[in-house]
A = this chain, B = another copy of it.
Amino acid sequence: MAKSGLLIIISAPSGTGKSTLCKRLIADLGGACYSVSVTTRKPRRGEVKGKDYFFVSREDFKEKVNRGELAEWALVHGHYYGTPRDFLERNLKRGKDVILDIDVRGAAKLKKMYPEAVSIFLIPPSFSELERRLRGRRKNSEKSVKKRLKNALGEIRRIKNYDYLVINDRLVDALRELKCIVVAEKSKVKWSKEKIEKVGLL
């Protein structure tokens, strides 16, 4: 267990800045990797296949589910999303930290499956700021903004199922807090057997 990487589950209402923070966190941690989800939704402008998501058809998605290739999957905003199990477990076993950007239902399923995982919920500094950020995304229609705001409130009620809560007001502060959580988690005594042996104290 001591050599295993840390599974870091991050959830946030759409518009919180989760993707940017996850990318910066991976860059800063060094040796961490991002769990690329499979989805049936269409790519947004700038999204790269295999880097942001694996974009598949509904048929392909169902096949993956049937073959047990997904650690979890869910229907969010009318699209299917899933987490490839093999990538996750292979990297954790190699001692690499894996960051998973996922919705509240997926997070709950993963935490059950991997109880050693750390779950973090990101929130915007205020509800009005969230609304402003969502309206700032040109591709979001009025209907889509309203749907996302309603979903945000539903998701935030699930915070109690998470280990940590981080407010993304200034990106640099939120990033620092995320890095501290990773450092602290790795200082937990449950990961320390190897540390103590190295020191030669036992």
What residues make up the interface of A, taking CB atoms closer than 8 Å to B?
A: 120-121, 123-128, 152-153, 156-157, 159-160, 162-167, 176-177, 179-181, 183-185, 187-189, 192, 195-196, 199-202
A183 touches B177 (CB 8 A): yes
Which residue of B156, B162, B188 is within 8 Å of A201 (Cβ)? B156
A164 touches B177 (CB 8 A): no
**What B residues does A188 contact at CB under 8 A?**
163-165
* 20 A–B pairs (Cβ distance < 8 Å), ordered by A: A125-B199, A126-B199, A127-B199, A127-B200, A152-B201, A159-B189, A159-B192, A160-B189, A164-B184, A164-B187, A165-B188, A165-B189, A165-B192, A167-B195, A179-B180, A180-B181, A180-B187, A181-B184, A181-B187, A184-B185
CB distance from A1 to the nearest CB of B (A): 14
Q: Are B199 and A167 in contact (CB under 8 A)?
A: yes
Closest to A159 in B: B189
B196 near A123 (CB under 8 angstroms)?
Answer: yes
Which of B165, B189, B195 interacts with A196 by CB under 8 Å?
A: B165
